[in-house]
């Protein structure tokens, strides 16, 4: 089997207690042609110093990007991506753990068919304080396979970011879309698959996702405003996808209606019935528009004619 260069993409921010394990788990992969690129986003807790130590310890494998201001998730991810030289990009994180065999097995799967552009795998979600498993990602999201981005738009982001290995040539030239400041990975996967590439997964658990208080995607409570921030990014993503990929418009509208209903649920849980009603109404209009567009033209014309009379 050929062994093309793989770049491991590792964003980090104030993860001093976890970053060394994250880096070591990537560097220790049993795959020889590997570049591990870690970008620190202006940490204030010593994370950057540990990254530098690891780069000095593994000069042939680790590329450290330290210094500079806090850029935010998406811009930092692009700064890292620009330094990734691999034919494949394996996405990782500064507070998570890569398990043995991940890189070699994903490369093998991708190399078997040049049409394959994204490969995922199952992930163990564990509590940081106890180290114990909470659940497997596959218990809450389907590890599917298919072609193109329609399902990923319609159903939302079903890829665990730390499980993704992508073919670099399928990535858009701008990388992560900086118009989506917080949750930009979904847009990146859609961009990769929009032209019809194949995606799938390898069997097995090859990463551990750490749950702790500072998780960007930590479980939100009904009172957590970060839920609305994430929803805002998701709605922005759908608007961008709808504008750029006409063949995905129907799926964007379906997903938008679902998100609006979820926001309505969020407001209702908070006891804010007026806002809940507004979002439920918007969701209903979205569903009705979608149903109308799915009707065959003769039925649309018949209904319009009946309405006119």
Q: Which of 188, 211, 234 lies at the terminal end of a domain, its last residue?
A: 211
Same domain (yes/no): 301, 249: yes
CATH (domain of 146): 3.90.550.10
Using only C-alpha atoms, what is the Rg of the chain? 21
Same domain (yes/no): 91, 34: yes
pLDDT of 113 above 90: yes
Tokens of 267: 């407001």
Same domain (yes/no): 153, 16: yes
pLDDT of 151 above 50: yes
Question: Which structural domain range is residue 202 located in?
Answer: 6-211
Across the range 132-139, mean pLDDT stands at: 96
pTM: 0.89
Same domain (yes/no): 249, 155: no
Which residues have C-beta within 8 Å of that of residue 38, sequence separation ≥ 6?
10, 11, 12, 19, 23, 51, 54, 55, 62, 63, 64, 65, 80, 94
Domain contains 179: yes
Residue scoring higher pLDDT (58 or 294): 58
Same domain (yes/no): 53, 177: yes
Residue scoring higher pLDDT (296 or 267): 267
Same domain (yes/no): 236, 112: no
Which residues have C-beta within 8 Å of that of residue 291, sequence separation ≥ 6?
none
Give Dmax over CA atoms of the chain in angstroms.
80
Counting the structural domains of the chain, the total is 2
Length of the chain: 309
Across the range 258-284, mean pLDDT stands at: 94
Question: Running DSSP on this structure, what letter comes out for residue 206?
Answer: E
> Tell me, what's the pLDDT at 219?
45
Domain contains 148: yes
| Nearest Cα to Cα of residue 214 among 146, 129, 290 | 129
Q: How many CA atoms lie within 13 Å of 278's alpha carbon, on the beta-carbon side?
A: 6
Helix, strand, coil: what percent of the chain each, to 5?
A: 45, 20, 35
Domain contains 111: yes
- For residues 222 and 275, give the distance between their C-alpha atoms in angstroms, rounded to a whole number: 14
- For residues 48 and 66, give the distance between their C-alpha atoms in angstroms, rounded to a whole number: 6
Give the pLDDT confidence of 75-100 residue by residue, as tens digits: 999 999 999 999 999 999 999 999 99
Domain contains 219: no
CA quadruple 207, 167, 216, 21: dihedral, nearest 10: 40
Domain contains 61: yes
CA angle 54, 98, 5 (to 5 degrees): 75
Same domain (yes/no): 14, 115: yes
Domain contains 218: no
CA distances from 2 to 27, 110, 111, 160, 185 (A): 20, 11, 8, 26, 28
- For residues 293 and 288, give the distance between their C-alpha atoms in angstroms, rounded to a whole number: 9
- Strands (E) across 13-156 are located at 34-40, 62-65, 88-91, 97-98, 116-127, 133-136, 146-147
Same domain (yes/no): 49, 177: yes
| Nearest Cα to Cα of residue 194 among 178, 172, 163 | 172
Same domain (yes/no): 38, 148: yes
Give the pLDDT confidence of 273-291 residue by residue, as tens digits: 999 999 999 999 877 766 6
Domain contains 59: yes
> Tell me, what's the pLDDT at 300?
52
Domain contains 220: no
Same domain (yes/no): 164, 120: yes
């Amino acid at each position: 089997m050929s062994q093309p260069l793989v770049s491991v993409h590792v964003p980090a921010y104030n993860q001093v207690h976890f970053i060394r394990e994250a880096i070591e788990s990537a560097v220790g992969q049993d795959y020889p042609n590997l570049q591990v690129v870690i970008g620190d986003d202006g940490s204030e807790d010593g994370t950057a110093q540990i990254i530098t130590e690891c780069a000095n310890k593994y000069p042939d494998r680790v590329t450290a990007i330290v210094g500079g201001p806090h850029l935010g998730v998406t811009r930092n991810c692009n700064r890292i991506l620009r330094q990734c030289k691999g034919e494949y990009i394996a996405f990782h994180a500064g507070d998570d753990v890569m398990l043995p065999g991940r890189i070699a097995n994903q490369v093998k799967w991708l190399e078997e068919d040049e049409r394959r552009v994204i490969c995922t795998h199952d992930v163990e979600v564990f509590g940081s304080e106890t180290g114990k498993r909470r659940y497997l990602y596959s218990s809450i999201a389907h590890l599917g396979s298919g072609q193109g981005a329609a399902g990923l738009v319609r159903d939302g982001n079903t890829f665990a970011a730390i499980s993704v290995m992508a073919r670099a040539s399928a990535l858009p030239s701008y990388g992560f879309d900086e118009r989506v400041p917080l949750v930009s990975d979904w847009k990146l996967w859609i961009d990769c698959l929009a032209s019809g590439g194949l995606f799938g997964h390898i069997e097995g658990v090859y990463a551990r996702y750490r749950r702790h208080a500072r998780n960007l995607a930590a479980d939100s409570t009904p009172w957590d405003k970060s839920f609305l921030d994430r929803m805002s990014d998701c709605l922005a993503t759908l608007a961008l996808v709808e504008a750029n990929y006409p063949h995905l418009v129907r799926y964007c509208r379906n997903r938008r209606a679902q998100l609006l209903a979820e926001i309505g649920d969020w407001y209702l849980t908070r006891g804010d019935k007026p806002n809940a009603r507004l979002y439920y109404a918007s969701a209903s209009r979205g569903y009705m528009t979608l149903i109308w567009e799915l009707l065959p033209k003769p039925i649309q014309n018949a209904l319009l004619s009946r309405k006119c009379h």
